[in-house]
Structure 1
């Protein structure tokens, strides 16, 4: 009946038929492909489950045990609001109310707000999700209203990427919403189906951060090494709300490249900030960095969501008499060689800041570029490791991502 949200697709129709017939229908997908089959109608009954498992544990043949459960069983708010309670923060057991509710705008909501009027005017735009429709920002009622243009492929990210590629090839404008942790499943489709064919699909990567989902199975900091080295892909890293919306507009309308956008922050629920600057409307000049503050001695390349960290580091360095250059790279998938060469004249040290794994990431590309020159390079980001349930403060301390720490280490390197 449900995974994270309502299910879609042909397989689920047969599962429903099996449930409605107590597993007795002749139209049985699992038996058709050679499995033995056992149905448990009340999957919340422990005794029934034990009996079913005992009946099959010594079977010499492969067996499917089909268990029908009630999502949220035993907690009334979760039974009533199944999708909402699939995942979230701490809540009050008596009332079901969230202890730390999210209010106001977030990146999920502003994306839906951006797409809604465009989809009313342009029938070629379609939304794709792989079992996580909440990330799209569209409500359940809106999903139904969008009909065939809201496509939930279930927990099949590989299919979502391949489908988006085919749709783009045939003139549609697919927008695939996906969490960073789950895009890892799609390397082959990104490479062979999408980028090899250079089809202009748009992928929005949420929770791509060291401080997003924090359990070991859902970490979101590995996407840059994985995606940024695939030919033809343009992977963008907006620094804030305004730049994100500008990149979203360009990525949706351009027809030259497969484009992915690394949505700032952990869950798409972070504070949406603006510095009042009007962002560039066109990103077709691929791999061009933007120098926001021209300084000397030290250049800070602050990628995406870590742009604000770069500003904070620059402020700390100013206290020590160093006026640092601050650069917004914008592009993850390539280097602005002219800009990097230009730094050699007045700078001794380049510092890269990225909200993800350093090994194989953006900073190491910069490091490799300067190999053989006199330029020193320092890379800041996460380590190649699986962390588990660390708080944002613990992550920042673990990887020396506090502005005071970074500034102190920079001053030591300059000494």
Structure 2
């Protein structure tokens, strides 16, 4: 009874209180999108089934039944604000968009993309696991490369069961004490929101675990939240040690692009596609890589496929325009501008365009004169 009371108090204090998790929702995918769009943490909290999530977290932890029940009781009583990190991601990455919903048995797998219109900015993909009771049971993110329950299992196992921790994270007797101290430092830093401290604490984990992809990807998450320098350091380690792993390679687009390794950058985008499927944002990424690599014909085809997939993604049209300007292809530039007008109800002024530096040469062509005249006739 005492341990149940202690765990309830601990979890409530650590995670904070949230509202009821049993709010009804007839359309969970739309509810998720609305919560992320409105940065509404309370609404997202209500969609999470803490009981189901706690069962997943504790699966395989081999805790004594009394302790496991205490943890579950504490989670239910404290209703962990697990959505806090998702809201932060939404604030950083941009507009949420529902990409697909797949069903497997009673569960639904809801894939959401968070991104702005510019493909060069930060983006994230999150897949929510929705149970038969229409509540979220778990979720995975592209940047972490795994389920949230797996990440939190590290926290709870380290807190409650040293033997299981040793088995899961390759601790031997010699490294056990130092590793436990490192884990405690990690947990303490995360509870304070001290990502720099968490990043440093990871260096104290067992050598065998530090050689795993899991460790490297957790380190990237901590580095991203700490500084550009730490993120670069963690990314370089991932590239050098796990660059051939599809899940790891999905995080290395910018790493390879900065180094002008265009083939590797393109492969990294395809690694993302293999995980989440093709879409307009990834088409834009691929087109830009192909363009800077001088593969303009391929870039044009990729852009057009991207527009077919997401005709409302403006960046794809501008990617085509930029390719046309680079190659001095007036018909491509002008036809794309016309398609943009039709798609978004916009009207370009030929006189103003002609005065813009990038369009100066195109504006001197017969094609531009015909295009401009057609607008005067319509007006």
TM-score (ref. length: structure 1): 0.29
Q: Return the structure number with greater helix share.
A: 2
- Pick the structure with more strand per residue: 1
Q: Report which structure shows greater RCO (CA 8 Å, sep ≥6).
A: 1
